[in-house]
Amino acid sequence: MIIDTNAYLSRWPFRRLAGDEPAEFVATIRKQGIAQAWVGSFDGLLHKDVGAVNARLAADCKSHGEGLLVPFGSVNPTLPDWQEDVRRCREQHRMPGIRLHPNYHGYALADPRFAEVLRLAANSRLIVQLVVTMEDERTQHPLIQVPSVDLGPLAGIVPTIPSLRLMVLNQRHDAPVKKIAEAGHVWFDFAMVERLRGVSTLARQVPAGRVVFGSHFPLFYVESAVLKMREAGLKDEELRAISEGNARRLLGGR
C-alpha cells in the first residue's frame, strides 16, 4: 500500500492534464495501489479567495474519495486575515495540514510572515507542506516565470519552532536536505528527484524515517513515482516505510 503525500485536485492553470477530473484522478491512483493521497488545490496558486478554494477542496475530497483523499488547505500570508484560513482548515474542514507556495504568493522564507505561519500551524497541530517548485522553469509560461523557493533560511527557522512538523515537497537533488533535516522535524518527498536511484540517495542523506512517497500527480505521472521506488534498490522494510509507514507516523503525530 502507498500513501501519496504530494498530489493536487482542480485544474492546472496553463494546460489540461490527464487526471485533472476528480473521478479520473481517483481511478488512476487506485490503479497504482495508492491507499491515500494528500491533496492540495491548483486553485491555491493564483486565486485570491483562499477560503473558497479550501472549501471546494474539502468538499471534493468528501464527494470523490473520503478517506482516500486527504485535503491540505492553501494559506497565503500576504493576503488579509490569512490566520482565519488556518483556523478554518483546522476547525471547519478538519484538515491535518496546510500547503504553502511562497514563490507563487510573493514572499521569501526570510519574510517574518513565513515564520508566523509556521508557528500558528505548529500551535494548531497542523502539518506544514512547503512546496519548492511546481514545474521546471524551462516549461513555464513566458508571462509567469516563477523561480524555485530559496531554502537557505529554513535551517535557521526550524529549530526556533520545536513542535513544527514540516514537509518539503518538490525539492531538487541539489537541495541542502541534510542540513535542513538536522535542524528539526522535517520530511522530504522525492517527486522531483530525477537521478538514478534518487530515492535511495535521498534516504542516505537524511534519516530514513524522513522520506515519504510523493508523485506530484497529476502534473507528473503517478507511475513515475511508483517506478522510482521499484528501481531504488532499497530493503523491504525501507520500501514499506517510505511508501506508507513514515507518512502514517507523521499523520499520527497530530
Q: Which three cell numbers stand for residue 227?
A: 517506478
In this model, does residue 254 exceed pLDDT 70? no
Determine the Cα–Cα distance for residues 60 and 138; give it in Å rounded to an integer: 32
Q: Are 207 and 181 in contact (CB under 8 A)?
A: yes
Average pLDDT, rounded, for the chain: 95
> Please, what is the angle between helix 222-230 and helix 198-205, to 10°?
70
Determine the Cα–Cα distance for residues 16 and 153; give it in Å rounded to an integer: 35
Percent residues over pLDDT 90 in the chain: 91
Kindly report, residue by residue over 205-251, the tens digit of the pLDDT.
998 899 999 999 999 999 999 999 999 999 999 999 999 999 999 99
Least confident of 78-87, 124-133, 136-145, 151-160: 136-145
Determine the Cα–Cα distance for residues 210 and 188; give it in Å rounded to an integer: 6
Domains, the chain: 2-252 (3.20.20.140)
Determine the Cα–Cα distance for residues 153 and 173; give it in Å rounded to an integer: 18
The residues, any chain, with a CB within 8 Å of residue 26's CB and separated by 6 or more, are 64, 65, 68, 69
Give pLDDT, residue 197.
80
| pTM, entire model | 0.96
Give pLDDT, residue 163.
96
Beta bridge partners of 34: 2
Specify the 3-state DSSP secondary structure of 99.
strand
Closest CA to 154 of 122, 191, 108: 108
Give pLDDT, residue 89.
98
Least confident of 9-18, 176-185, 190-199: 190-199
Kindly report, residue by residue over 38-63, the tens digit of the pLDDT.
999 999 999 999 999 999 999 999 99
Determine the Cα–Cα distance for residues 189 and 199; give it in Å rounded to an integer: 9
Kindly report, residue by residue over 150-186, the tens digit of the pLDDT.
999 999 999 999 999 999 999 987 889 999 999 999 9
Pairing type for strands 97-100 and 2-9 reads unpaired
The DSSP string of 197-225 is: THHHHHHHHS-GGGB-----BTTS-HHHH
Closest CA to 105 of 134, 75, 64: 75
The kind and range of the H/E element at 157 are: helix 154-157
Burial class of 209 by CB neighbour count within 10 A (0 to 12, 13 to 18, 19+): middle
Q: Where are the alpha helices (DSSP H) in 68-111?
A: 82-87, 102-105
